Each structure stands twice: as C-alpha cells, then as structure tokens.
Amino acid sequence: MSEVLEYQPQWVREDFVDFIAEKINPLWAWKKVKAQIVSTQALSTDFYQIQLRPNHNFKQDQLSAGQSVLVSVVIAGVSQQRSYSVVKVLNNGDLIIAVKRQGQVSNVLTALQDNDVVEISQGQGDFVLGRETAPILLIASGSGISAIYALLHAALAHNVENVALIYFSRDQAYDDELQALAQQHAHFQYYPIHTTVQKQHLDEALLKRLVPDFQQRTTYICGAQSMMNSVNALYRGFGIEHQLKQEYFQKLIDENLAAQPVVFLRSQQSFEATTNLLESAEQAGLRPSSGCRMGICNTCSCTKVSGSTKNLLTGEIEHGNQVQIKLCISQAISPVVINL
C-alpha cells in the first residue's frame, strides 16, 4: 500500500517576515538589529562620529563600555561588515560610534545620509573595565580613542580611584571633551600628545615621567599597531604583561613571517598565506565568513586540523591539532590545514 504524502505547512520564515516588514518601515525586523542614521559629524578630515538609533531588538542593557558593534553595509550587492567601538550611549538609547574613513565599508558608511538604515550586531568584545577600583592607565592613539573614551567615562562613573590617559593624536578628536573632563574630575589626569607638533613616541621614559606608578596599574590600550607593539614589548620586559588589556583596530600582519601553504579541507582549496589567514584566503578568491576582522567576534572561528599558527594579538604560537583559531588574527608559520 503506497504512502499518502500530506502537505506539511512550515513555520513562517524570518527572512520573509523581514522582507514584508521593511516595506512598511525599514527599521522593522523580527530579530535583526537595524539602526537609523540620525546624524554624521566630521571630527577631522577622515574621522567621523555617527549617531545611530537602533530598533527594539538591540539589547542596550547588555552593552558594556568598550564594546563594539558590527555594522553591515551593502557594497556592489554584497553585505560587508566592520566593527566599530561604541563611544557612548545617549539617554534616549541612541548609539554614538566613531568611524575612521580607511576602507570600503567606512567610505560607504560615512557617505550615507540621515535616516538611512544599516544593520548592526549586539554589543560584542571583552575590552571592558574590570571590577577593580584601583588606579588605571588608558593609552590611545588615533581612532583608538573611541574605545578608550568609553572606558574613561565608565571609570569615572564607577569611582575608579585614579585615571590617567595618554592620547597620541594628529587631529585632536575629542580633545575639548577630554580637557573638560580633566577640569571636572581631580582624579583624572589627561596627557594629550599632538603628533603633528610633538615628535614623541611612547617609551619607558615617557611612561615614567607622566605616570610614575604605571607598573602598579592595569593598562588599557587601543591604537596603531606600532604603538601597541612598543607597549607590549615594554610590559614584557618588566614582566607585567598580565596587567595589559588591549584592543586592535588595524590590519594585523607579521611581516617577518614567510609565506606558507594553506589548505581548506572541505572545499578542497589551497593558497599561499602571506598575511593573516582571512586576508590571504580572500586574496586567493575565497570568501570565508568574517565579521569584525580584529579578533573580537567569532564569525571567522574555525578548526585548525594541523600545522602551526601565530596569534597576531598575543604572539602565542599554536602547534596543536584540532584546535579553534580565528582566521583574522592568525598567521601561518608552517603548512596549515583548516576544516573549511
């Protein structure tokens, strides 16, 4: 006796609901977080502050100072994402992000008009203040001030005993606000270094002069890779690297590492890796999933079947097999096989 096939109705699809909803209101979505651009303000010739008004799906109560959001824009019909630190959250729930114009996504994002809508993620990342109230040191350069600015406000609000900020900048973004905060809070010391007139690098002598007790403080740092490298080397020399918390925002690469052959096992693709594994794959025409491109989200996490890689944030070498790595912050130091 033959079986009778019956029609089994499916649950309503999320993408169909979103398609219909956005025709009525571009901010409406079932689960996605969408945000309307309220305003865009130029902080300098290539650094912008953007005010976003997220829809009801954004979980503001779960956002911590120092975290970022992924912002998605459509470029040539393809959705692309980049991570941007949340500088502050306004009383009405609007988010302020800071965007340095230096790539495809940032160029498109800063050119959007008021009332345009983008998709964003929930808050992400672990570059957040600890629970201690002991003195801390904040160090920023360039657009790295966006995350540090948020941490500063959190530290002042949570009664951290003493806060020192060293800020290297050529455009003085947020300088007026930071000067005002230093006037309002006696336990906040602000040390601006305007790099167009002061040829000062971050070194041991500078730290000892500005913040003599820096070795006793937890240090939060975000900025250019050259500065980050200097601070990491300095703290390792003092044996206090465990007191360093850091956030990168530039492309990561160790130029001293030789190119290595990489195989994506499932897709049966191979290529030569000359930079981090994500960019090397993209240069070979592959399109692995990615998000923040800075090691914050887990979008590009995958299993390394074999081979050795270097974590470009920590410098740690991973020789193990069947271990999780993030493509965007991993560079091959031997032939590598990845389960992708």
* DSSP helix/strand/coil, 106: helix
Whether this model's pTM surpasses 0.85: no
User: Whole-angstrom Cα distance, residue 125 to residue 247?
Assistant: 9
For residue 162, is pLDDT > 90?
A: yes
Q: In the chain, where does DSSP find H-type helix? A: 14-24, 104-111, 145-157, 175-184, 204-210, 225-238, 277-283
The CATH-assigned architecture of domain 260-339 is: Roll (3.10)
Instruction: Return the domain boundaries, the chain.
Output: 14-120, 136-247, 260-339
For residue 219, is pLDDT > 50?
A: yes
The CATH-assigned architecture of domain 136-247 is: 3-Layer(aba) Sandwich (3.40)
Asked whether the beta carbons of 339 and 263 are under 8 A apart, the reply is: no
For residue 296, is pLDDT > 90?
A: no
- Per-residue confidence (pLDDT) for residue 75, from 0 to 100: 85
Q: How many residues comprise the chain?
A: 340
User: Whole-angstrom Cα distance, residue 334 to residue 316?
Assistant: 14
Task: Please provide the average confidence, as pLDDT, over all residues in the chain.
Answer: 88
pLDDT tens for 252-274 read: 666 678 889 999 998 889 999 98
Residue range 98-104: mean pLDDT, rounded: 89
For residue 7, is pLDDT > 60?
A: no
Greatest C-alpha distance within the chain: 90
pLDDT tens for 47-83 read: 999 999 999 999 999 999 999 999 989 888 877 888 8
Q: Which pLDDT band holds residue 1 (cuts at 50, 70, 90)?
A: very low
Q: What is the DSSP letter of 126?
A: S
For residue 15, is pLDDT > 50?
A: yes
14-120: in CATH 2.40.30.10: yes
User: Whole-angstrom Cα distance, residue 136 to residue 163?
Assistant: 5
